[in-house]
Amino acid sequence: MTPVRLSAVGYLNARPLVYGLEQSSRFDVRFDIPSVCADLLHEGEIDVGLIPSIEYLRGPADAGHYRIVQDVAIASRGEVASVVLYTKKPMSDVRSIAMDTSSRTSVALVGVLCARLFKIQPAIESRTPELTAMLGDCDAALIIGDNALLADPSTVRLKPDTAYPVERIDLGEAWTTWTGLPFVYAFWAGRAGVLNEADIEALQQARDAGVLRPDEIARKHFPDSPAHQAIGARYLRDNIKYSLGDDERAGLERFFRYASEIGAVARAGPLQFF
């Protein structure tokens, strides 16, 4: 059989979802940043991508709805630790935010939170994820993935007249505190018919195997830093959830509705699964 072309996110939080898949002849796995995973799927360069959840609503108009692999996601209920807004002003005073170009779901989440929770309308700049430079030019900065997990805001050197200390706002925690629901950052998605039942089961089994091995995965991901390994293993155990159950679906549908209301997507379509 022709291998299924998979694009997975290269961040630590995605590694449990691909545990063992690189050794499978059924899957041809590559690793990309989240925005590239989405672009490759939209362009038809891959069959299935671990896409930012907001990209489910942004596929080519003639492709129909994407299908989602059942019960597999990257989600959090409360603190996520790897999707973080850093601000040098109180949120009510923030007038500009530098956004990590790697991200799309988190950018939409910031937009939702600004409109509905923080009640602000900041200017947005797309930037590479370098915290000091971002905060040098903007009032706040969104960082995601491993960069956010390992960032130390105490190392940020701002202008001497900046009196407000850099504050760290965990967006997973902000969402759950506000809505009472989990937040879904990414999931496997592709066009109808590209996966069979055995493929779906293989992706679910990879997840099941990966979530049992946080220490092993963190060691492989951060081979040169025991300190980062400890942070990574704790993060995989305590912060990231890998199921897409009823509560996660409710959180996803709520996010889609809010995102459509602020114009981040044209409409909030239904969830459809393989």
- Give the confidence band of 1 by pLDDT, cuts at 50, 70, 90: confident
268 belongs to a structural domain:
no
What pLDDT was estimated at residue 106? 94
What is the pLDDT confidence band of residue 64, given thresholds at 50, 70 and 90?
low
Q: Does one domain contain both 238 and 186? A: yes
* Structural domain total, the chain: 2
112 and 148 share one domain: yes
What average pLDDT does the chain have? 92
- For residue 266, being part of any structural domain is answered with no
Residue 273 lies in a domain: no
User: What confidence score (pLDDT) does residue 162 get?
Assistant: 59
Angstrom distance (rounded) from CA 224 to CA 14: 20
Exposure string over 156-166, b if 16+ CB within 10 A, otherwise e: beeeeeeeeeb
CATH of the domain at 163: 3.40.190.10
Query: Do the domain assignments include residue 132?
Result: yes
Last residue of a domain, one of 179, 206, 228: 179
Is residue 102 located within the same domain as residue 173?
yes
208 and 254: one domain?
yes
Decide: helix, strand or coil at residue 183.
strand
Answer with the one of 179, 200, 220 that is the final residue of a domain. 179
Per-residue pLDDT at 140 = 95
Domain limits for position 170? 83-179
Q: Are residues 154 and 38 both part of a single domain?
A: no
Whole-structure pTM over 0.75, yes or no?
yes
